[in-house]
Structure 1
Amino acid sequence: METMMAKPNALRAKPAETNTPTWRDELGMIAPSARLCAAVLGAAVLLVGAATWYGTRQAAALAQAAQVRGAAAGRFQNVESEKQDIAIYQPRFMELQAGGLIGDENRLAWIEAVKSIQGTRKLVSASYDIDAQQPLAFSVPMALGDYQLRGSRMRVELGLVHELDLFHFIDDLRGAGRFTVQDCKVKRTDAPAEALGVARLTANCTLVWLTLGSAPRPDMAALAKGLP
């Protein structure tokens, strides 16, 4: 009977062994989530960078477009302003051109005008001489653009019956072009008062015929020679 009985300690079952997870085991568990989070963050950074680059590029393109539009608007305003100036000043320009101020001088017209006035006004005599044309300088600077003011001095000697003949001569001569009277001297002659067909007065006048011609172009070759 003694051999058939088991010991009390031998009859107890051994408890199951349990393993406590370590930090390495936990790290392995969260590794997939960490990699996913890192991938998402990387993608987000790339998207933010791409959005920033695209936004900067679009802002630069918008600024350039605004600059081009502003330049086009400025040119349009200039064109409109020039059109208005042409509409305002072209008739006056054409009038001055037809009157002989703008363009080349026309000495033949001046000479023919003197001869025609002498016959029309029945002047006793009319003689003249014209100097070479010269550029005129202004005491106050004037903006003439591509034009240059020039003058041709004409000296006229007239034999007159009375003083009004001189004023009539000057008024009639204005139809041949634009001029200014520089000086005019009138003196009596020794002709008797009862004499007919003789000059009782002589007038010596200096006129300056005015023209606006194209300003001479600078000699580029001469300018190049003067450069160091």
Structure 2
Amino acid sequence: MKRRAGFTLVELVICIAILALLAGAALPAVAGYLNSRARTTTHAELERLGAATLEYFRDVRALPGSLAALETGTGIANWSGPYMTSSALDAASGLPSAQVDGWSQPYDLAAASSSRLVLTSRGSDRAAGTSDDIALVVDVVPVRRELSLERLRTINQAVRAYNAQYLTSAPLSATWSSALARLVATGYLPNDPNLASDGFGSAFVADPAGLAPVVRFKSSHVAGS
């Protein structure tokens, strides 16, 4: 008796049906794995973008208007980056890889205040404002405090040196703009516009208030400064 060669049409249809069922069962698992990997990648990249934003603010004294500004600083005063670098162009979007999330979608940027920037991925559903979003709030207040303290170290060192020479003959004004002008005119401070205010954009104040002659200055935004 001859052996059959190959499959009958019925057997072939059954095999295809079985394969389709197996593929259908596997697809959700594969999709879940890909979304999980994309979410992990996005979380890690948001942390890197947040760190880059802090370094950008430390130099430029402003929040970036786009993620591109972290990589290219054409026309941006005091820019000394790049603060991050894309490894390549994203294959799906054509954008620099560091500027898109794990689903190849560009991140959204929104300034919540002058000190807070919100970086958001729209997540796997690619829709803004849903529970699927992944957001990171970048708070530059610690950098503002750091800048304030750096400037105060320079300023109060100059005040001490000035007072050693002029404390009785020409005491400093308690108004910072006048005191700064005097310290610059006598060579105790450089003519640096950054010294006109603290990291929050406010003038320094005499410490303690009302004491004459003035012996030091502080920032009203930094406790114990």
Q: Same fold (TM over 0.5)?
A: no
Tell me which structure has the larger Cα radius of gyration. Answer: 1
Q: Which has the higher strand share?
A: 1
- Which structure has more relative contact order (CA 8 Å, sep 6+)? It is 1
* TM-score of the aligned structures, taking structure 1 as reference length: 0.30
